Amino acid sequence: MNNRLVISSTIGYLCIGLTAWMGNLAPTHWVAGPSMQAMIMMFTLGTVVLGVMAILSFFHGRTLDAIIFFGAAAYFFTGSHHGNMGAQADSASTMGWYFLVWAIFVFYVWIASFKAGRARFLFLLAVWLALLALCLSFWLSWGGFGVISGYLGLIAGLVATYISAATIVNHGCGKTCLPGNPSDAS
């Protein structure tokens, strides 16, 4: 694994992990609620950083990471747009369809990750289930699915952070010190 590949994977997954963690604290009721301005800034920064990491991953032949980073950048961009415009203007049915479309995207990326190592597999599985729970939360108007989605988002954030750490630690060790993150996954 060359140094440039390590940088894009480490920074990309760290950005996803931190944004997922911070964005899912409120639905789990660990915090009272995030400042909308802070969320918009976080999603905007995530969009820019992930867009750059996606391009770098693409040019270094890391196709799965590039798709994950481009998808996350698009999701963060639309998330910041909803924060600006006010998601309350959309109906619950519309938001349910919005999250279902993202869940379908993550589902087929998850299927593509079966050979990419357990960490990426578990990360995408948690994201897919979190988006499905959000979809059901809006369609069924039951807040319990929102809480479930928040906890799944926290798990996804932790796994993304683990992928980030495993990438840089394994590079520094020169071998696989942290399992579940093969260097040959594409």
* Domain extents in the chain: 3-173
Q: Average the pLDDT over 166-172 and give the result.
A: 82
Q: Average the pLDDT over 143-166 and give the result.
A: 92
What tokens does 147 get?
A: 């809480």
Give the tens place of pLDDT for each residue, 28-67.
877 776 666 666 777 777 788 888 899 988 988 888 999 9
Which positions ≥6 away from 81 have C-beta within 8 Å? none
Give SS3 for 4: helix
H or E segment and range at residue 131:
helix 118-140
Q: At 186, is the pLDDT very low, low, confident or very high (cuts 50, 70, 90)?
A: very low
Under a CB-based contact definition with an 8 Å cutoff, are residues 186 and 63 in contact? yes
User: CA-to-CA distance for 170 and 114, rounded, in angstroms?
Assistant: 20
Report whether CATH 1.25.40 matches the domain 3-173.
yes
Q: Is the pLDDT of residue 81 over 60?
A: no
User: CA-to-CA distance for 169 and 171, rounded, in angstroms?
Assistant: 5
Give the tens place of pLDDT for each residue, 117-145.
889 999 999 999 999 999 999 999 888 99
Count CA within 13 A, CB hemisphere, residue 167.
27
**pLDDT score for 139:** 92
Q: Position of tokens 């995530």? A: 46
**pLDDT score for 82:** 54
Instruction: Give the predicted TM-score (pTM) of the model.
Output: 0.84
Under a CB-based contact definition with an 8 Å cutoff, are residues 123 and 159 in contact? yes
